[in-house]
Amino acid sequence: MTLPSGDDRPVDEPTLVARARAGDREAFGELVVAHQARAYRLAWRLTRDRQIAEELTQEAFLRAFSHLENFREGEPFRRWLVTIVMNLCLNEIKRKKRAAIPVDDRTVARIEGQALAGGRAGETVDAQVATRELERDLDREVANLPPKYRAAFLLRHNEQLSVQEIAGALGVPEGTVKTLLFRARELLRARLSRHLAG
Amino acid sequence: MDCPRALRMLHRRLDDDLPDEAGQALEQHLQGCLPCRRRAGELTALTRAAVDLPEPPAPDVRGAVLDRIARESARVALPALPGGEPWWRARSFWAPTLELAAAAAMAAIALDRVLATVTPMTLWSGLASGAVSMTGNVFDLVAGEGPALLAAVLAQAAALVDMLRESVSSLGQGWDAFCQLLARASESLRTLPAVPSTAWMILVSLVPTAWVLSVGVPAPVTVFHGGRREGLS
């Protein structure tokens, strides 16, 4: 498996992991570059706090480095890292009881500006605006979901992990993951019916 | 197929958990059921929107992560010497030695404080025959007026001890010798240069500190072995 690196050179992930295990910090640094955006994104979506998300992202990489001997060869590094990020975030949420944290308006406006700058090919302007509004409100409603529902939904539909991978990340049976996903989707569908009906 | 079953199958399809045959049955139901078809559309729009949720730009944490790894790996335990550690470096030598030194330092201070206020002869005299005045003084200090009854009991006890002392002369000689030894020790201590109490406190606090360092700081000390990191707490 090759990874995009900071300067677009493809790097072989198993090789980087093997070198990092042997203590090669530069190799681990390349893994950090390749996965930091994903890790931060997930941490931010779960905690809704940029500073905490950055701290947890760093902590996740530190733990990954210190427990590289536990990493199974052949498994995607991304999946293992997501598990670490997930556990740190859920612990943080429990610790601070951040069950539902609305996104502040300035962050939404900034993100909206970035989102509106792009658009899906083939969409009319009206469709693009409707899509962005749905994404913005979906983002808000996802933040209001209970932590495990939020985690399951984001891992499935934002990180594109399989049910089996999510079960591993959350440490629950697959049946539980399916139940979490069912309830999360139905909750969101009910809360966003105004957008979805159009 | 009824609508509740169709709903469950819709979700299974979103989980990539629907066999092809069941998928075909679901499609047949959707073609004939408007509410279920609408619900399928809503769920599809929802999950597609989740792919591109807005997000803030991710910070570059590579530098910070590598810095922390470097800092934590700098806290390295002394590597074992080939052929074992020399005795003067062995933890098994220093730990009990420093413990003993700490205990001896504290005992010396306590003894000095006791002997500075009460000489052995005074102590003996008080126990033997001067218990009343000594206990009276003590209780005066503590309670203000001193419980006379307790003082009287102690006086009786002191008198009894005195009788025993007189009747067993060898024991009395032993007691005298012991008191003389304490007196000599007291005088010897008094000839030592006065050590300010501050200096004593510093000395006493250094000894336990040195002991703690010798037995090691508990987690999260990390140990680097062969380039790998262990035991991050």
pLDDT at B130 over 90: no
Rounded to an integer, what distance in angstroms lies between the CA atom of residue A39 and that of residue A61? Answer: 9
pLDDT of residue B184: 74
- Element housing B68 (H / E): helix B62-74
Q: Tell me, what's the pLDDT at B161?
A: 73
* The predicted structure's pLDDT at residue A111: 47
pLDDT for the residue numbered B97? 66
CA distances from B39 to A93, A124, B43, B105 (A): 32, 24, 6, 81
Contact A131 B49 (CB under 8 A): yes
Please check the confidence at residue A6 and state whether its pLDDT lies above 50.
no
pTM, 2 dp:
0.54
Closest-CA distance of chain A to residue B60, Å: 7
Please state, in angstroms and as integers, the Cα–Cα distance from residue B175 to each residue in A179, B123, B134, following that order. Answer: 86, 12, 19
Per-residue pLDDT band for B220 (boundaries 50, 70, 90) equals very low
Residue with tokens 């499609």: B27
* ipTM confidence: 0.73
Residue-level pLDDT at A32: 95
pLDDT of the residue at B172: 61
Choose between A3 and A187: higher pLDDT. A187
- At residue B50, does pLDDT exceed 50? yes
Highest mean pLDDT among A110-114, A140-144, B72-76, B224-228: A140-144
CB contact under 8 A, A22 and B228: yes
Mean pLDDT of A49-75: 91
Cα three-residue angle A167-A157-A63, rounded to 5 degrees: 50
- From chain B, the residues in CB contact with A137 under 8 A are none
Q: Which residue has the higher pLDDT, B187 or A30?
A: A30
* A163-198 pLDDT per residue, tens: 998 998 888 999 999 999 999 999 999 898 877 765
B70-87 pLDDT tens trace: 988 776 544 544 455 555
Query: For residue A151, what pLDDT is reported?
Result: 92
**For residue B6, is pLDDT > 90?**
yes
- The 3-class secondary structure across A91-145, one letter per residue, is HHHHHHCCCCCCCCHHHHHHHHHHHHHCCCCCCCHHHHHHHHHHHHHHHHHHHCC
- The least confident of A137-146, B27-36, B209-218 is B209-218
* Nearest residue on chain B to A159, alpha-carbon basis: B51
Average predicted confidence (pLDDT) for chain B:
69
Domain spans of chain A, in order of start: 1-99
Cα–Cα distance for residue pair A6/A2, rounded to 1 Å: 13
The answer for residues whose C-beta is within 8 angstroms of residue B180's C-beta and 6 or more apart is: B120
| pLDDT of A43 above 70 | yes
The one-character DSSP state at A69 is: G
Range A108-131 average pLDDT = 54
The residues, ordered by sequence, that sit 6+ positions from A112 with a Cβ below 8 Å of its Cβ are A132, A136, B54
The least confident of B38-42, B138-142, B214-218 is: B138-142
Residue A179: the pLDDT is 95
Mean pLDDT of the region A19-25:
90
Would you say A84 and A63 are in contact if contact means Cβ atoms under 8 Å apart? Answer: yes
- In this model, does residue B63 exceed pLDDT 70? yes
Q: What is the mean pLDDT of residues B34-48?
A: 92
Task: Indicate yes or no: CB of A25 within 8 angstroms of CB of B70.
Answer: yes
Of A66, A157, A162, the CB nearest to B51: A157
Instruction: Write the CATH number of the domain with boundaries A1-99.
Output: 1.10.1740.10
* Least CB–CB distance from B15: residue in A28, A29, A181: A181
Task: Between B164 and A145, name the one with better pLDDT.
Answer: A145
